[in-house]
Amino acid sequence: MFDWLDWDRERAAQKFEDIRSRVVKILVRRQCYEAEELWDETVNRVCKLVAKVAETYVGDPALYFYGVARLVHREWLKEEKYKRDALEGGPPPPPPSGPDLESLHVCLDNCLQELEEDDRRLILEYFEKEKREKIEHRKAMAEARGITLNTLRMRVHRINADLEKCIVTCLSDTQVKWTQ
């Protein structure tokens, strides 16, 4: 895939990161809370098609990425609407506040403690920086672990999914205790 972006590996990697950054920013501006996951899906789809597309595609490959990302985002929106309609039939609830927020923090702390030490360290380190610093930090994290940035993202996604399940279970247990 990098050969399609540029014959020079360094420039290709920089173009890839520029495309990733732009796509994620666009998705975040569109209030997509799973922007990184949608980017991963975009890359997966482009990787599957690049051998066929590269031969005949005319123009900037970045535009192809943007088009695929737009379609992935559209699918995500439909899925989210379906989930929301199935659960409540209306808009999502407001973010928690007061005692609900405190319960969320307690559950998060408990669930973090249930993770293996390496996973806990990885997830906390992954989310500790902001903006450009975050990008550089995550690259350094992947390099230090001897893995690709995409592999790092996939590990974090897996840990996040486990955390989410744990938090949902914890919150539902907390709700049951409060109502009894």
CATH number at residue 154: 1.10.10
Structure tokens at 56: 């005949």
pLDDT of residue 110: 92
User: Digits of tens for pLDDT over the chain (180 positions)?
Assistant: 667 777 888 888 888 889 989 988 888 888 888 888 888 888 888 888 888 877 787 788 888 888 888 999 999 888 887 777 666 655 555 665 555 778 888 898 999 999 999 999 999 999 888 878 888 899 999 999 999 988 999 999 999 989 989 988 888 876 544 443
Residues 65 and 54 in one domain: yes
Residues 31 and 117 in one domain: no
Could you give the number of structural domains in the chain? 2
Give residue-wise pLDDT tens across range 76-125: 888 887 777 666 655 555 665 555 778 888 898 999 999 999 999 999 99
pLDDT of residue 179: 40
Which one of 93, 128, 151 terminates a domain? Answer: 93
Structure tokens at 79: 């899925």
Residues 62 and 36 in one domain: yes
Residues 169 and 119 in one domain: yes
Residues 4 and 45 in one domain: yes
Rounded Cα distance, 79 and 90, in Å: 14
Domain membership of residue 160 as a residue range? 94-180
Residues 60 and 132 in one domain: no
Residues 140 and 123 in one domain: yes
Q: What is the CA radius of gyration of the chain?
A: 19
Residues 103 and 175 in one domain: yes
Residues 115 and 180 in one domain: yes
pTM across the whole model: 0.46
Residues 53 and 126 in one domain: no
Structure tokens at 55: 């031969």
Residues 110 and 142 in one domain: yes
Rounded Cα distance, 113 and 92, in Å: 29
Which one of 55, 71, 93 terminates a domain? Answer: 93
Rounded Cα distance, 43 and 20, in Å: 9
Residues 35 and 14 in one domain: yes
